[in-house]
Every structure is written in C-alpha cells, then in structure tokens.
Amino acid sequence: MATQRYSVTPHPIETLLTWVKSGEIAVPEIQRPFVWDATKVRNLLDSLYQGYPVGYLITWRNPTVKLKDGTPSAGKRILIDGQQRVTALMAALLGREVLTKEYETVRIRIAFHPQEEKFEVANPAIQKNAAWLPDVADLFAPDAKLLQITKAYAAANPSVDEDALFGVLEKLRKIINNHVGLIELADDLDIETVTEIFIRVNSAGAELSQADFAMSKIAANETYGGNMLRKAIDYFCHLAVAPDFLGRIEKGDKAFAASEFFPQMRWLKDVNDDIYDPTYTDMLRVAFTSEFRRGKLQDLVALLSGRNFETKQYEDAIAEKSFARLKQGILRFMNKTHFDRITMILRSAGFVTSDLIGGQNAVNFAYILYLRGRAESLPAADLERLVRRWYAMSILRGRYTGSPETAFDFDIRQIEAQGLAAYIEAVIEAELPESFWTGMLPQLMDTSSSNSPYFLAYKAAQVKLGDKGFLSRDITVLDLLMNRSDVHHVYPRNHLKTQGLPRGRYNQIANFVLAQSEINIVIGDKAPQIYFQELAEQCNGGPKKYGGITDLAEMRANLRINCLPESLLDGVIPAYDDFLDQRRRLMAQKIKTYFEGM
C-alpha cells in the first residue's frame, strides 16, 4: 500500500490570511501575476457566503536544509496551489492591491447588496447607489464597527429592518471563519516528486511548468535575494516587449530601481527589436544551463533548495552558492553587449526578422553557446561562426523541438567533456552529411507549412546570399522581408484548384517564391505556360508585363537564384509534381551553399 505523502488540515480563512501577512506562507510577490478577472473574485466571495467549498490549498515546506552550524532550518511554506484564490481573498477582504498580467497594480473592489444578499464588481453606478455597500473590505478593516455600519446603511435606506440587516452583515463578516483545507506535502519529499505534484495539480488550470516552479522557489527566498532576482527576470522580459514600462518600474518599485539589476536593463528602453523577446522560461534556461552546465530545470530547483547530489542531503551552503551562480547567469543574460551579439549573430545568419525565427529553444541554446564561448575566451569571429552554424543546423534538424531539456542537458555535458569548438564541428558533420542535402532535406521539404523550418532556412539563405526577389531587377529578398512581400505561387493557386488539387498540395513550400505585390497581382491566376511564355517575350522585345527584367540572361539568372528551372522560359513546363520535385532539390542545394558559406 502506498504511503500518503501529505497531511490535510482544515484552517479558518482568517488564520490563512494571517499567515500570508506574516510571511509564514510565502505567496511569492510576483510568482505569477494575478490572472483572475474581477467576476471570479466576486464568485469566490459568493461561494464562501453560501457556505460552499472553495477547494484546497497546497503548501510545501522547504526540505530540511542544514545550516552552517549543522542545525535544520525551519523553511517557510511555499504555496504550490491556490495563489489566485489567496490573492483574491486578500484583494477583496483586506483591500490589498494586486499586480495584473499587464503588470499594473490595481484594487479590486467587490460590492455587496445586503437586502438582496448578492455580490457585484463595484462600478460607478453601484457607488452612487445607497442600496449597495461599495467595498466589502470596509467590513473587514481592523477598526470596522458593525453596529455603526448597520446604522449608517439604515439611515440611507429607511425601509430596511435594522435587526435583519445586522444579521446579514454579521453573516458576511463570518466568512473568514469558514474553513479551507490545507494540504501540506511531507517535507521529506524530494524535489522531483514535489515538482511532479506541482505540475499535476496545476494542469487543470493555467499550464504550469518546471520554470514556474523554479520561479516560485526563487521568489520565496529572501535570504539570498531571490525575491529581487525574480523581479529582475520578470521585468527584463516585460521591458523586452514593452520598453515604455521602464518609467513605471522607476516610479512604482523604488527598491528595485535602486538595485544592481535595474541599471543592467535600462538599455532596453531604446530597443524596438523583436527578433528575440525572451520569456522567463527562456531566461532561466539560458542562465542556468550556461552557468551550471546542466539542462534540466528540476535540477535548478534542487540546487536552489540546497540539494547535495552526492549525499542526497540539503545544505544551506549549496543553496547560497546556487543563488549566487544563478544571479551571475541572469546578469550575463541581461548584459547589453551579450544580448546585442546574439541578435547580431542571428541576423548575420540571414534570420533578419522575428517571422524567420522558428523555435525559441534553438535561439536559447545558441545564446548558451555564445555565453560559454565568451567564458572560454574564444576569438569573437570564431565564436560567431560556430554559433551561426549551430543555430542553422539545429533549425534544420529540429534538435530542440521534442524534449528540449533532455537535448540541452546532453549537449552542454558533451561540450564540457569535449570542448565547445570540437563538439560543434563533430555534431554538424554527423547531422549534415552529403546525403542530408541530396536525400533527406528534399523529402522534408514536402510540406505545406510556410512556417516550416526548411522554408525559414531557405528565406534566410536568400537573405544571406543577397538574392533578388522573383522577377525583381533591383529589389532584394531582404528588402521584401523587411518591408512588404507576397508569397507567390509559381503554379498559381486558383489554376491548381481548378484541377481539383486540395490546399495541402497547392500550398507546397516548393511552389512558393517571394515577390513584390505588384508582380504577384499581375500574374494572378494565369497558367505557368502562359506567363512564362510572356516572360520570354518580354526579354525578346515584347511588352514589359512582369517586373523590370528585359534581358534574357538576367531573367535566367533570376530564375536560378529563386531555385526555378531555367527551362520554364523555353516552354518546358513540367507536370506540377515533377516541378515540385525539381524545385525541392534546387532549394536544398541553395540551403547547402548558404550553410557552407557561413
């Protein structure tokens, strides 16, 4: 029979709120912003008033950490499940402000109608209506006097029975005596088990992850500055997306503005580049893996808890050192020079817009490689070349799409064992042999997804090689991607539809070229044999219908750089499937040329 790994004890809401106020239960200040809307807060109060159950809270004490003098520490309880409910109660009953997912601090006021015994989110009309108490928090204030509140309400509503009113308000006040079940996880559970519980109990609500658990762990630690580190991660991610948020931090969080982290992120206020907008998961992955040479975030939670992997004990010295190392990793991540370099490397590989960035984890590992190479003092040009090639390889091979943590862990350990340059070159040689370019890649390009990594890599190759757009004399693919371009179907979509081809067939990436909108519009639905004949005539003194190229050699060159068979100009229009097969091979060779040139 399995041993129960937890205890369940009912506690009055009042006790739980007292624990939260005193810090006995750690509700990390910005572990996850408050994502409930005000109507959910109203519904929670109504459930309590009706005497309905409102679910369990789950807490876990830190494992017994040995302090430097050998004594165990009494860790705070970390709230693993129930933060939104506890935050809602503190907002509604204690009048506390909450931080929304838009990073705004707001007060949620819930009004109560004593005669109808119903709750509503306060609004201007309710505030003007004497039949409503506009903010239930007034009833729970330490100096609130129920008799005075009753008399004031009765004076404003003369038809009310004072005794009945007093009884209703007393019933409302007593909701803090309602019990909520507190599930306490055994403090001897290992980190892996608690992480598993954390993810399982939260899977029905907003999707949570190892990174969420790590963030809870960081935020709950004040001894080693975890609470400030948590803010640094959160604020950096927000500033990367919304640079104007800087002013709000300066005004609204003076303590953080005075910290060592704030000057390290001020540079984001002038940045409007969105090639790499990291989430807190991305930041944790990069900082942890580059600094600790491990890839699994559950190991980070264990180390921050003081886990000694050899003795299986928890030691305060390890927790202290782990927080210091993580902080170092976060500061390196935020460093303007480092961040500028990784985005520059991506651009120099042809990935010039956020639309061309396929997988964020491939970018994350590229950044890890860059930071490791800096730490090893690799020459800048060599490091940039290695990172560029690795990123392109990992996109083409989908290296971090399945189980990124496992792949991160494997790669970083091999890098430590073999050395960065040697490992990168060995993996690239193994992953991209000649047979990949001639056999596997053309097969992989049999897809209709315009977001497929192969089409992204093809566009990056065209950027890097300075290619012109389809039928453009002067406009490059780079110009088209940075401004406005159309994805043109070489064999037009409606032309293929009339032949009964389904969407997945006519939208093949091997049927796509990047073209100026006006060229795409003029070609329209014309069959390829018609418009390619007109292109040949255009280069032979005929009317100029499509773009500005009138020289046959130049036109042939344009088809070549766009991976189209030149024979199309000679009236050799292959069957659609044969065309796709030819073009996939040509596109694969272009990507190969691009890769070998990096």
Q: State residue 402's pLDDT score.
A: 81
pLDDT tens profile 289-306: 999 999 998 899 889 988
Q: What is the pLDDT of residues 319-363, one digit of tens each?
A: 999 999 999 999 999 999 999 999 999 999 999 998 898 778 999
User: If 0-12 CB within 10 Å is exposed, 13-18 middle and 19+ buried, where does residue 500 land?
Assistant: exposed
For the entire predicted model, the pTM comes to 0.77
Query: Contact at 8 Å (CB) between 536 and 554?
Result: no
For residues 329 and 468, membership in a common domain is answered with no
- Clarify whether residues 386 and 449 are in a common domain: no
**Above pLDDT 90, what percent of the chain?**
52
- Which residue is associated with the tokens 């950096």? 236
Final residue in a domain of this structure, among 137, 159, 194:
194
With respect to residue 307, please indicate whether it lies within any of the assigned structural domains: yes
**Rounded CA separation 560/590 (Å):** 10
Query: For residue range 416-468, what is the model confidence (pLDDT) as tens digits?
Result: 999 999 999 999 999 999 999 999 999 999 999 888 999 999 999 999 999 99
Domain-embedded: residue 109: yes
Is 532 part of a structural domain of the chain? yes
Domain co-membership, 371 together with 286: yes
- 179 DSSP β-pair partners: 12
Choose the final residue of a domain: 194, 221, 254: 194
Cβ atoms 250, 445 nearer than 8 A = no
Same domain, 448 and 425: no
**Which residue in this structure is represented by tokens 């950490």?**
65
Both 375 and 255 in one domain: the answer is yes
Residue 204 lies in a domain: no
- Separation between Cα atoms, residue 162 and residue 168, nearest integer Å: 10
Same domain, yes or no: 45 and 159: yes
Residues 567, 516: one domain? Answer: yes
Q: Hey, which residues does 182 pair with through a beta bridge?
A: 9, 57
Instruction: Give the span between the Cα atoms of 593 and 464, in whole angstroms.
Output: 10
421 and 467, same domain (yes or no) = no
Residue 364 maps to a domain: yes
Domain shared by 416 and 558, yes or no: no
Residues 244-280 have pLDDT tens digits of 888 888 888 888 999 999 999 999 988 877 788 898 8
| Tens digit of each residue's pLDDT (9 = 90 or more) over 105-152 | 788 999 999 999 999 999 999 999 999 999 999 999 989 899 999 999
Q: What is the pLDDT of residues 7-62, one digit of tens each?
A: 888 889 999 888 877 777 766 443 456 677 889 999 999 999 999 888 888 887 76
Contact residues for 60 (Cβ-Cβ < 8 A; gap 6+): 77, 78, 80, 184, 185, 187, 189, 194
- Does residue 141 lie in a domain region? yes
pLDDT of residue 199: 64
Q: How far is CA 215 from CA 32, 231, 257, 280, in A?
A: 9, 10, 20, 8
User: Is 437 a domain residue?
Assistant: no
pLDDT of residue 84: 82
Whether residues 174 and 240 share a domain: the answer is: no
pLDDT score for 26: 67
Higher pLDDT, 191 or 185: 185
User: Which position has the token pair 């093949």?
Assistant: 508
What is the token pair recorded at 8? 């369940």
pLDDT in tens, 64-121: 655 555 566 566 677 777 878 888 888 899 888 887 766 667 889 999 999 999 999 9
373 shares a domain with 233: yes
Domain boundary among 151, 166, 194: 194
Query: What CA–CA distance (Å, rounded) separates 300 from 211?
Result: 9
In which domain, by residue range, is 247 found?
211-432
Residues 251, 302 share a domain? yes
User: Does residue 155 fall inside a structural domain?
Assistant: yes
Q: How many domains does the chain have?
A: 3
